[in-house]
Amino acid sequence: MRVSPGGRRRVRQALVILFHQRASAIGTSITLVFVMAALFGPLLAPYGLNQQFASATFQPPSPAHWFGTDELGRDVFSRVLLGARDILAFAGLGTLLAVILGATVGLFSGYTGGLVDEIIMRAFDGLLSLPAMLLALLLLASLATSDLSVIIVLVVVYTPIVARVVRSVVLSVKDLAYVRAAQLQGEGLGWILYRAILPATYPALAVEGALRFSYAIFLIASLGFLGIGFQPPSANWGMMVSDARQLATAAPWALYFPAAAIAVVVVGVNLLADGLKRIAQTLPESQR
Amino acid sequence: MTPGPSHIPLLEVESLTVAYAGAGRLLDAVREVSLIIHEGETYGLVGESGSGKTTLALSVMRYLPRSAVIRQGRILLGGSDLLALDAKAMRTIWGQQIAFVPQDPYSSLNPSMRIGEQLSEAIRADGIDRRAARERALDLLADVHLPDPPLIAESYPHQISGGMRQRVLIAMAVSREPKLLVMDEPTTGLDTTTQATILDLIRDLIRKRRTSVLYVSHNLGVVAQVCDRVAVLYAGELLEDAPAVRLYARPLHPYTQGLLDSVPRLGQNKRRISLRAVAGRPPSPGDTRSGCVFMARCPLAIELCKEAPALIQADKGHDTRCHRWKEIESGSADPRQPARAKAGRVQSPVTGPEVLALLDVEVHYPIRRSLADMVSRRARQVRAVNGVSLSIRRGLALGLVGESGSGKTTLATAIMGLVERTGGEMRLLGKLLPSRIARRDAATLARMQMIFQDVDESFVPTMSIAEIVRRPLIRLGGSRADEASPKVIGLLEAVHLPPEYADRLPVQLSGGERQRVAIARALASKPDLLVADEPVSSLDVSVQASVLNLLNDIQAERDSGLIFISHDLAVIGYISDVVAVIYLGRLMQVAPADEVFDPPYHPYTEALLSAIPLIDPKGLQERIRLEGDTPSPVEIPSGCPFHTRCPRFLGEVCVTVDPPEQRTASGGLIRCHIPLDALQEAQRRVFHFSFPVEGSD
């Protein structure tokens, strides 16, 4: 695909806008820090995930163990750092698949219209009428517990939401002259959907994707807390919170730090989504 | 027009400069503009988009947005400086001293308040009690000639038509007898026949109340019809300021001349002479400028023009900002672009091989809002096109003219297969044309292409110009990907665009250039039929002419058929060989372009011609006005669909019987109950210019 001439300039513009507002600058920075942790965690972590210091259980935060140690003498900082990769990777992958699938369904359904659109959208309405958590629990109960199941849950839960957002954009552009012009020049369905209409949905997709990503992190952490979805020895922050809960009086830091990690990254990604929304709104109509 | 303005200045704008903050610097939208409006005077401000005309109007109202900065100048109303007043003091000025009539009647009224309430609220600012205000509101509604004022007063804005809303806004503006009315394009967006009645109203109000008016418009014809004095604004500078009659008859600025030449006059046809277009592209606000702002596009530009000219008084009351005005006045320098006389490519409209034949084409579609509507089969029908038969021949242009709701765009999209035809048949080069685009093969698609009304919306915004033009070459033109690129350059050259534009994005082009790209794209598959839906109506006046000439040249060169759709009868008359007048989805009249401006007319054509604002303040026009609005295509009147508004209504027969198709000597068609000779006898030529118009008789 050709990079459009204004593409690089627009990316720079977008970054300027993101960092211009304090809230979105903070959100972007937080997200970047967590992404770095996910990418380079194993290099940065002072200790291993399950490395135990038998002599140093229930240690409060200290220069040796920044976030303290838990009941098994594991370094909480290392565990939080190493936990970033799992949770971000799963949330990211699940969101990405949901965005791809949702965009495809939304494009097709909105463009085709009529009865097909009605059927798809009513089915999605049905899915959306269940709370995300309930839907996730129902699915996990019927699937084998594996990493794949968690991804499937995210895709099932978020695809309808993304599809609805994309469809609403499609409805607003599908009667525009450029779509008609594409029909007149004999373009096929794929070209019309992905080359002509899809770019118009990018701003909405970026915002929705970021938002879904933050909710995906939240959902995975919640499932971990309930002890569903992930199996030890992986370090799911939710699971860490759950484990530390029973010993909260003895080692509150083992509870606080993973909980804070969840809260901070969710808030950070949300702020980033807000920033993206602002960029989408400042783009002139013709560039959307 | 008015009893003549007095010589007491009411509004004086002195050396006003207004800038907008943008891209980290201030960009001047209006630069050192000075003007005086006398008591009782109607002052027209003409300019294209980006000329600063609306900014100037808003400055006078003190309605400028926050991003605007008044860098210098004074605005005096009756001698006191409006710019020195704070918001509280302005409240005593608004409504009582100056009032504003906005451009957009759709968003300017509160949708949740009844018309009567909104109007009496404006009046009650004077401290009148509720009942008196209500009485006064009804009087005002009657003053602006709204039928049944009590009913209108009880209506919500969405329940009345655009023309009626504009009347309400005018009533609101005059409600407190202001000395000055500022009108910003009050008739733009209205149909020609509605516009004519609103202009009548404005003229009438001005005459009765002796109100002064600042009238802002891009439409030279409209300004000619209402204004005593006209100023021409370009790139934020006042280029010429003169009494209307003088300005139109003897402009002393090359830009004014260019503007006047860019608009086809009624009855001017391409066969005799081509339009003189203004070269170049309009300036954008970020352009750095030195010297004369019009230099880059001016045919008379010389070395001296690099120095900015001052606004010079050329004659009493006639100012121009041109170094060479004396030469223009004496005739030794001609600012007119060389016009090309045509070799009289006169072809009889009924001969020549047929490209497209329409036989009784009908397009009806149901109004469906909900799932329940979709399931039930008894949805109401929009009857957009009702039995249209036409023949489009090679090398000829068919002009399709009609107001909004006439079905002209639906007909075009049905021809292209973008909406489904529900009746009749279409043949392309003798072969039956499937109704839906999905059923048409690539060869069929290649033979017919369309140019869309909304230029800005007709390209994928993220695609480069090269990509836009290359796709149809590959899909329909039979080019392989590697051989398409030189062809892209060739097509760009054919529409007079430089090859380096290939790498640009649509947003980086001006409106006129974008329309050229649209034409290039349509030409890629070498079509036999081009359908152009209002291709120039979104363009600035000065670039319209070049696009029209381009379309005309291309069509002649390629010997294709052209369907040209417009609401503007002058443009249609210029570009067409055959003119078809459509009303509520039916053809009312079809005539060779030479004949459509002479009787016998269909009564609807007659009314349309009478409604067009002539670009000539002294031109004469029969005054035929249509009552009410075009009926909805959901409930089309029985018999002759025009009978509800027809000024030559005969009686019962028009209501009950479908009018016959009467053939004229030249093969034209008039669908009316009145016999042709009776029409001929009753009608006179509707319009006469006060000065000879090139290319017409």
CB contact (8 A) between residue A288 and residue B442: no
Average pLDDT of chain A to the nearest whole number: 83
CB contact (8 A) between residue B505 and residue A181: no
CB contact (8 A) between residue B416 and residue A184: yes
CB contact (8 A) between residue B471 and residue A184: no
User: In angstroms, what separates the C-alpha of B636 from chain A's closest C-alpha?
Assistant: 26
Cβ neighbours around B339 below 10 Å, total? 14
Residues of B in contact with A2 (CB under 8 A): 464, 467
User: In angstroms, what separates the C-alpha of B460 from chain A's closest C-alpha?
Assistant: 6
Q: CA Rg, chain B, in Å?
A: 26
CB contact (8 A) between residue A5 and residue B458: no
Chain B interface, best mutation among A13, A174, A185, A198, by max B CB count within 10 A: A185
Measured torsion, CA atoms of residues A10, A13, A14, A17, in degrees rounded to the nearest 10: -160
User: In angstroms, what separates the C-alpha of B564 from chain A's closest C-alpha?
Assistant: 17
Closest-CA residue of A relative to B530 is A184
> So where are chain A's domains?
7-49+63-287
pLDDT digits (tens, 9 = 90+) for B171-184: 999 998 899 999 99
C-alpha distances out from residue A32 to A24, A80, A85, A88, A268, Å: 12, 16, 13, 12, 9
CB contact (8 A) between residue B463 and residue A4: yes
A9-13, A19-23, A88-92, A108-112: segment of lowest average pLDDT: A9-13
Residues of A in contact with B524 (CB under 8 A): 185
Residues of A in contact with B503 (CB under 8 A): 5
Domain spanning B1-97+179-252, CATH class? alpha beta
pLDDT at B370 over 80: no
What are phi and psi for residue B33, nearest 5 degrees? -95, 130
Reduce the DSSP state of residue A178 to 3 states and report it: helix
Instruction: Let me know if B482 is exposed, middle or buried by CB neighbors in 10 A (0-12, 13-18, 19+).
Output: exposed
pLDDT at B400 over 90: yes
State the pLDDT at residue A233.
Answer: 62
A172 touches chain B (CB under 8 A): no
A 265-284 near B (Cβ less than 8 A): 284
CB contact (8 A) between residue B464 and residue A5: yes
A85 vs B33, more confident = B33
State the pLDDT at residue A50.
Answer: 74
Residues of A in contact with B449 (CB under 8 A): 184
Global confidence as pTM: 0.86
Q: Can you tell me the mean pLDDT for B262-272?
A: 83
Closest-CA residue of B relative to A181 is B458
- Looking at 1.10.10.10, 3.40.190.10, 3.90.1640.10, 1.10.3720.10, the CATH number of the domain A7-49+63-287 comes to 1.10.3720.10
Identify whether the C-beta of residue B193 lies closer than 8 Å to the C-beta of residue B403. Answer: yes
When CB atoms are compared, the residue of A114, A184, A286 closest to B461 is: A286
* Residue B343 confidence class, pLDDT cut points 50, 70, 90: very low
Chain A interface, best mutation among B444, B450, B451, B457, by max A CB count within 10 A: B457
B443 touches chain A (CB under 8 A): no
State the pLDDT at residue B566.
Answer: 94
Average pLDDT of chain B to the nearest whole number: 88
Contacts 24+ apart (CB under 8 A), B121-126: B122/B95, B122/B172, B122/B175, B122/B176, B123/B175, B123/B176, B125/B95, B125/B176, B126/B96, B126/B176
When CB atoms are compared, the residue of B445, B456, B506 closest to A186 is: B445
- Percent of chain B past pLDDT 90, that is, above it, reads 57
Contacts 24+ apart (CB under 8 A), B489-494: B491/B520, B491/B521, B491/B523, B491/B524, B492/B465, B492/B517, B492/B520, B494/B520, B494/B523, B494/B554
A202 vs B580, more confident = B580
Residues of A in contact with B507 (CB under 8 A): 6, 284, 286-287
- Percent of chain B past pLDDT 70, that is, above it, reads 94
CB contact (8 A) between residue B475 and residue A115: no
pLDDT digits (tens, 9 = 90+) for A114-170: 889 999 999 999 988 988 888 888 888 888 777 788 888 899 999 999 999 999 999
Q: What is the spatial distance between Cα B312 and Cα B5, in angstroms, rounded to a whole number?
A: 23
State the pLDDT at residue A277.
Answer: 81
Closest-CA residue of A relative to B442 is A186
- Percent of chain A past pLDDT 70, that is, above it, reads 91
Q: What's the complex ipTM?
A: 0.83
pLDDT digits (tens, 9 = 90+) for B552-601: 888 888 889 999 999 999 999 999 999 999 999 999 999 998 888 888 99
State the pLDDT at residue B455.
Answer: 85
pLDDT at B163 over 80: yes
A 75-114 near B (Cβ less than 8 A): 114
Of A14-23, A66-75, B1-10, B507-516, highest mean pLDDT: B507-516
Q: What is the spatial distance between Cα B187 and Cα B54, in angstroms, rounded to a whole number?
A: 14
* Residue A3 confidence class, pLDDT cut points 50, 70, 90: very low
User: In angstroms, what separates the C-alpha of A157 from chain B's closest C-alpha?
Assistant: 26
Q: What is the spatial distance between Cα A106 and Cα A172, in angstroms, rounded to a whole number?
A: 13
> So where are chain B's domains?
1-97+179-252, 108-177, 256-330
State the pLDDT at residue B275.
Answer: 84
Identify whether the C-beta of residue B613 lies closer than 8 Å to the C-beta of residue B227. Answer: no
Tokens of B130: 């509720």
Residues of A in contact with B459 (CB under 8 A): 178, 181
Q: Can you tell me the mean pLDDT for B262-280?
A: 82
User: In angstroms, what separates the C-alpha of A12 from chain B's closest C-alpha?
Assistant: 15
> Angle formed by the axes of helices A114-128 and A76-112, to 10°?
150
From B307, B292, B303, select the one nearest B254 (Cα to Cα): B292
Residues of A in contact with B525 (CB under 8 A): 185
Closest-CA residue of B relative to A197 is B460
B526 touches chain A (CB under 8 A): no
Contacts 24+ apart (CB under 8 A), A45-54: A45/A75, A45/A77, A45/A78, A45/A81, A45/A82, A46/A75, A46/A77, A46/A78, A47/A74, A47/A75, A47/A78, A48/A78, A49/A74, A49/A78, A49/A79, A49/A82, A49/A233, A49/A235, A50/A74, A50/A233, A51/A75, A51/A78
pLDDT digits (tens, 9 = 90+) for B616-675: 888 888 889 988 788 888 889 999 999 999 999 998 999 999 999 999 888 889 999 999
* Residue B696 confidence class, pLDDT cut points 50, 70, 90: very low
Measured torsion, CA atoms of residues B573, B574, B578, B584, in degrees rounded to the nearest 10: -40
| A167 DSSP assignment | H
Chain B interface, best mutation among A118, A170, A184, by max B CB count within 10 A: A184
pLDDT at B263 over 80: yes
Chain A interface, best mutation among B373, B376, B462, by max A CB count within 10 A: B462
B43 vs B546, more confident = B43
Between strands B312-315 and B318-320, the pairing is antiparallel
State the pLDDT at residue B10.
Answer: 94
**Separation of first and last alpha carbons in chain A:** 19
